[in-house]
Amino acid sequence: MNGRLFAVAGLTLSLAIVGCGGGSKVSSASLDPRLLPGSAVPGFAVQRTQDWSDPVNLVGEGLALPQRTRPSEAVKEFTGAHFRGAAGEVLAQGTGLEETAVRVGVAKFASAGDANTVRDWMHREDLKQPCYSQCVFAPAPVNEPGFPSMRLVVQSGRAKPPPGPPPGAPPGVKAHVLGPANYLAEFTIGPYLYWTILQGNAGLRSRFEAGVKLYYAHAKQRS
């Protein structure tokens, strides 16, 4: 009889350990405080928040994958790394054609090693040409001293200046046009993976890098 009681007690304890361990899912709401507050970025505000508890929604709404990478491949990367949950938001400035929007995300995994695995996969994807065929973008990594877990890529594009001088300019003056650029960054802190994406022009690099560092500082405070 005592043996049966000990066996039941042992089974109950084992189930409790499994239920409280790394295998449990986390809600999107519990991850929201880890996202960068809109108030931390001058001129930007939170346009919307996104529940990415389902990795399919995360891949469809939260990542900037190369056109040659199938969404199912990305879902497999996340779920294969013991994905526990994710949350996201869009920070926006301006409206209409003048709008600048930044996608921000955070995901939790079972371990720091899992988070690093997905970060490194995302970084490899960032270094690929974003277009299916010939592309105007040239991806290049950017080193950020003092942030060893951070991976940052700038995909720089080329833009042809419009013919003739700018309106109101004297003849012979050439227009200077900033080419398009995609900015992508990921970093990890423990089992958490953070990332941010900005699609804009070549003049936004310094602001993007400053914003990523703000995000890192905010995440460190939450760890």
- Ranges of each domain in the chain: 26-36+49-89+105-159+174-222
Q: What local confidence, expressed as pLDDT, does residue 171 receive?
A: 67
Residues in CB range of 63: below 8 A, 6 or more apart: 74, 122, 197
DSSP letters, 33-91, are GGSPPGGGSTT-EEEEEEE--SHHHHHHHH----TTS-HHHHHHHHHHTTEEEEEEEEE
Q: If the chain, 223 residues long, is cut into consecutive pieces of 10 residues, what is the mean pLDDT of each piece?
A: 42 37 82 94 92 98 97 98 98 86 98 99 97 90 96 88 64 70 98 97 94 97 91
Q: What local confidence, expressed as pLDDT, does residue 6 receive?
A: 39
Its pTM stands at 0.84
| CATH among 1.10.1740, 1.10.3470, 3.30.70, 3.40.1000 for 26-36+49-89+105-159+174-222 | 3.40.1000
Please tell me the distance from the alpha carbon of residue 173 to that of residue 165, in angstroms, as a whole number: 5
Q: Which of 65, 67, 143, 62 is nearest to 104 (CA)?
A: 62
| 40 neighbors 214 (Cβ within 8 angstroms) | yes
Q: What local confidence, expressed as pLDDT, does residue 179 receive?
A: 87
